[in-house]
Homo-oligomer: A and B are copies of this chain.
């Protein structure tokens, strides 16, 4: 499934010029992923990116109006990709219980396999989501950006999984809170496990993050 050369298309509101449309654009996206992962979002600049891709700062601005806009683009690409994985892995699975289990796995497990067909390294992109994505929406411009559709892919993923929750337990009061808590929580736990381990109960190779959230969700949904 991961090996499909799937094509992810991103709303044109999220770029100035479509980076898919040229070799330079693709290099901007793939190199920026490597560099944001390596340097962190703060120390990443279009100037440094220009040097790495053998081009110029000003050329990067023709694709993205700011580095914030580039981060938002990457985040949307990521959630589109997750959405594909969700749809494929739950297709033709009759049991709602099993579909929800698969969905939880997709959003809480570490991404370890890169889809070699694309110029986007999903392993690094997942690391960026874990470490940097909260900076995209913790901004004073959030309300304007939300209106422009900057976060709609993420919201759609949450909605999809919330629908599975309601299928299993139609009277559950907090499906969106449950799923956004699981998604954001899993990212935090991955980050904490590496940097502030006393905030977690992470143990290498024991899948504790996935198991914890699976357990949390199914207990929350169980009817007494």
Number of interface residues of A (CB under 8 A): 49
Closest to A130 in B: B138
Q: Which of B39, B195, B198 contacts A176 (CB 8 A)?
A: B198
User: A interface, by DSSP: helix, strand, loop or mixed?
Assistant: helix
Query: For chain A residues 152-190, which have a beta carbon within 8 Å of chain B?
Result: 154-155, 158-159, 173-178, 180-181, 184-185, 188-189
Query: How many copies of this kind of chain does the complex include?
Result: 2
List 10 additional contacts besides A143-B195, A177-B200; criterion CB under 8 Å.
Answer: A40-B140, A42-B140, A137-B195, A137-B196, A155-B198, A173-B212, A174-B215, A177-B199, A180-B192, A184-B185
Residue numbers of A with Cβ under 8 A of B are 39-40, 42-43, 131-132, 134-135, 137-140, 142-143, 146, 151, 154-155, 158-159, 173-178, 180-181, 184-185, 188-189, 191-192, 195-196, 198-202, 208-209, 212, 215-216, 219-220, 222
